[in-house]
Structure 1
Amino acid sequence: MWRDRPPGRRAALRALAAAALATGPLAAGVRPAAAQAYPARPIRLIVTFPPGGSSDVIGRILAPRIEARLGQPLVIDNRPGAGGNIGMDIVAKAAPDGYTLGIGAAGALSVNPSLYPNMPYDTLRDLAPVTMLAGIPFVLVANPRIGVKTLPELVALAKSRPGVLTVAHGGNGTAMHLSAELFNQMAGLRIETIPFRGSAPAMTAAVSGDTDLAVVDLASVSGLTAGGQLVVLGVTTPARVSSLREAPTIAEAGLPGYESVGWFGLVAPARTPAAAVEALNAAFTAVLREPEIRARLESIGTVAQPGTAEDFASFIRSETAKWAGVIRAAGTKVE
């Protein structure tokens, strides 16, 4: 039959047939899959610390609300080790499709490049910031036996006894350690920093008098200041914290410009589609603004910090530069 038709007519019929295929049942079965809205399947959330840690608890607090907003399960996958580098490397090397995310702490996203000689990933090149999740205020506390009740009194004592006072912290290279080093550098002091395995042991050392001071997270000092076991000299955040309202910031107590917070943020692999990053940012920031979620985060000593992806990217860059200088000046190393 085709041979009996004039050439022009055969071309026209071929064009009609092609158009029918493009709009017919076959195309209808293919096109929706290509245009499926994100997300179309479960999302894997890499947590760079073990179950029970702050980042894990934050992830589990947020997960049910995120699942309700996105319509897909959020599967938490704990991958601890190397200060968060192991889990974050998994995220950095995952397919950039929006289905692998990571909760990273300040260490893995801004501090570790200055601590570890061979980083397996480059935060600024290999990861796409989505949003800040939460901040962790730290508290500078003193054992009452050293006789100081204010920050100026501590500074005066430390200057009169250089290299004698000691301050406990949660481990070399942790945000608590760097908070103590930043305090030393800005105040021109020589208080010896003593590492412990986490905030709770550091706080115990200060209570027992094994050290004179400690920089610990907010949750660790709950109840100990009211009973007079520790004296709060200041919080490390730029503004006072609601759960310890009577405590001044270190900046307002006598060290202007001082600021140091622990933090957790959400990242994806670099080159993740902008639409996926926007959808994730919208879901997470909306959940972080819910009063119930904010209250639950405060109950574990953290403060919700939702924001734009652009603001988070800028914050990571500034934190990376800031702590590189502190680490260099302190000569801090991770073995």
Structure 2
Amino acid sequence: MNDTNVFYPAALLACLTLTLGGGFASASDYPNKPIRLIAPNEPGGPTDILARTLAQKLSVNLGQSVIVENRAGAGGNIGTQVAAGARPDGYTLVTGNNATFGANITLYKNLPFDPVKGFAPIVLIGFQPNILCVHPSLPVQSVKQFIAYAKENPGKLNYGASGQGQLAHLAAELFKGMTGTNLVYVGYKSAAPALVDLVSGQIHVMFATALSVKQHIQSGKVRPLAVTTARRSAAFPDLPTIAEAGVPGFDATTWHGLFAPAGTPAEIVSRLNTEVNLILKMPDVLKLLESMGADIKGGSSKELADHVQGEIAKWAKVINAAGITLN
């Protein structure tokens, strides 16, 4: 008898366990070693602060170190690609947002990962509103007045944004499409010089992040008209949403979520979802995120999966209509 043609059930089961079940074998005692949390951005920004806050709290709750690894570049694509190629065992996680899990699949012709098929959604962490701001010299006090003024002056008003494909840029293009206004895009390498020009009156409009523009609003150097989120922001409760102020259905939000590579065991995804939802209710975490202008979300993994699908579809329409492409 040729032994190479004989199947040994026990050996076959062991082989299958090693080949296919690395993640499944470790699910019951997860975690038993440090976890890597990839933040696909530079250190020090809001996303990095969020990642480090989660890492600190998860380390305590899970009893294992959670180590943040910054992998910036290409609009978040580099770090996200690293996460997509990692072993799906729960020991590599990644933060995602409206770019990496929304707009980038349409912006980049050859995105090196699939934001839907390549990942297991864990939880939608929260939203950070942008604020539609104008220079005080514009004779407008509301979104409706701004729309009317822009239509009376087609092509004469310009808006600043920190680079093509960034949320401030896409939010303005969404606004243009939904209102029939003609605003001229002025690109910047970052938000800081755009804000300088807005304050000085070199540009007229900006869909600025709440955190970056807050002090200019308080000083009266720029005039806020509305927040870009679907609901009013707890950080700016007196500001209406653009949707309620005259553009029904408008929603252009910086959001943050937590993801794992596709194939990560459901038990691990569920455990992480539970832990992050608990963390998002901690008073010190709430205080920190609110200081960043963030509104906490939480919820199920399915809610994040559905949100990603909706974001991809929404931004694809905007990007294709505006003819925006990035290499």
TM-score normalised to the size of structure 2? 0.89
Q: 2:149 aligns with which of 132, 153, 157?
A: 157
Residues 27 and 268 in structure 2, CA contact (< 8 A), matched pair in contact too: no
**Residue in structure 2 matched with residue 170 of structure 1 by the alignment:** 162
| Structure 1 position 276 matched with structure 2 position 297 | no
Once the two structures are TM-superposed, the CA of residue 242 in structure 1 deviates from its matched residue by 2.2
**Residue in structure 2 matched with residue 143 of structure 1 by the alignment:** 135
- Going from structure 1 to structure 2, the CA distance change for 1:150 and 1:43 (only over 3 Å counts) comes to same
Once the two structures are TM-superposed, the CA of residue 243 in structure 1 deviates from its matched residue by 2.2
Provide the rounded CA distance (Å) in 2 between the counterparts of 1:277 and 1:305.
Answer: 17
Q: Name stretches of at least 5 consecutive residues in structure 2 with no aligned partner.
A: 1-24
**Residue in structure 2 matched with residue 121 of structure 1 by the alignment:** 113
What SS class does the counterpart of residue 123 from structure 2 fall into? Answer: strand
What SS class does the counterpart of residue 116 from structure 2 fall into? Answer: helix
**Residue in structure 2 matched with residue 303 of structure 1 by the alignment:** 295
| Greater share of helix | 1
Provide the rounded CA distance (Å) in 1 between the counterparts of 2:62 and 2:88.
Answer: 18
Provide the rounded CA distance (Å) in 2 between the counterparts of 1:293 and 1:58.
Answer: 9
**Residue in structure 2 matched with residue 93 of structure 1 by the alignment:** 85
Provide the rounded CA distance (Å) in 1 between the counterparts of 2:27 and 2:170.
Answer: 47
| Residues 141-182 of structure 1, C-alpha deviations (whole Å, 9 max, x = no match) | 000112211111111111111111001122210111111111
**Residue in structure 1 matched with residue 316 of structure 2 by the alignment:** 324
Q: 1:246 aligns with which of 238, 253, 266?
A: 238
What SS class does the counterpart of residue 311 from structure 2 fall into? Answer: helix
**Residue in structure 2 matched with residue 265 of structure 1 by the alignment:** 257
Provide the rounded CA distance (Å) in 2 between the counterparts of 1:94 and 1:317.
Answer: 22
- Going from structure 1 to structure 2, the CA distance change for 1:207 and 1:42 (only over 3 Å counts) comes to same
Provide the rounded CA distance (Å) in 2 between the counterparts of 1:257 and 1:70.
Answer: 40
Residues 97 and 256 in structure 2, CA contact (< 8 A), matched pair in contact too: yes
Paired-residue identity, %: 39
**Residue in structure 2 matched with residue 236 of structure 1 by the alignment:** 228
| Residues 98-146 of structure 1, C-alpha deviations (whole Å, 9 max, x = no match) | 0001011211111101000111111111111111122110000000112
Residues 109 and 325 in structure 2, CA contact (< 8 A), matched pair in contact too: no
**Residue in structure 1 matched with residue 65 of structure 2 by the alignment:** 73
Residues 289 and 306 in structure 1, CA contact (< 8 A), matched pair in contact too: no
Give the alignment's Cα RMSD to 1 decimal. Answer: 1.4
Provide the rounded CA distance (Å) in 1 between the counterparts of 2:104 and 2:195.
Answer: 24
Q: How does 1:186-205 map to 2 (within 5 A)?
A: 186-205=178-197
**Residue in structure 2 matched with residue 52 of structure 1 by the alignment:** 44
Number of matched residues?
303
Residues 27 and 267 in structure 2, CA contact (< 8 A), matched pair in contact too: no
Once the two structures are TM-superposed, the CA of residue 36 in structure 1 deviates from its matched residue by 5.1
**Residue in structure 2 matched with residue 9 of structure 1 by the alignment:** none
Residues 202 and 216 in structure 1, CA contact (< 8 A), matched pair in contact too: no
Q: Name stretches of at least 5 consecutive residues in structure 1 with no aligned partner.
A: 1-32
Provide the rounded CA distance (Å) in 2 between the counterparts of 1:244 and 1:314.
Answer: 27
Residues 26 and 89 in structure 2, CA contact (< 8 A), matched pair in contact too: no
Higher alpha-carbon Rg: 1
Once the two structures are TM-superposed, the CA of residue 226 in structure 1 deviates from its matched residue by 2.9
**Residue in structure 2 matched with residue 285 of structure 1 by the alignment:** 277
What SS class does the counterpart of residue 263 from structure 2 fall into? Answer: coil
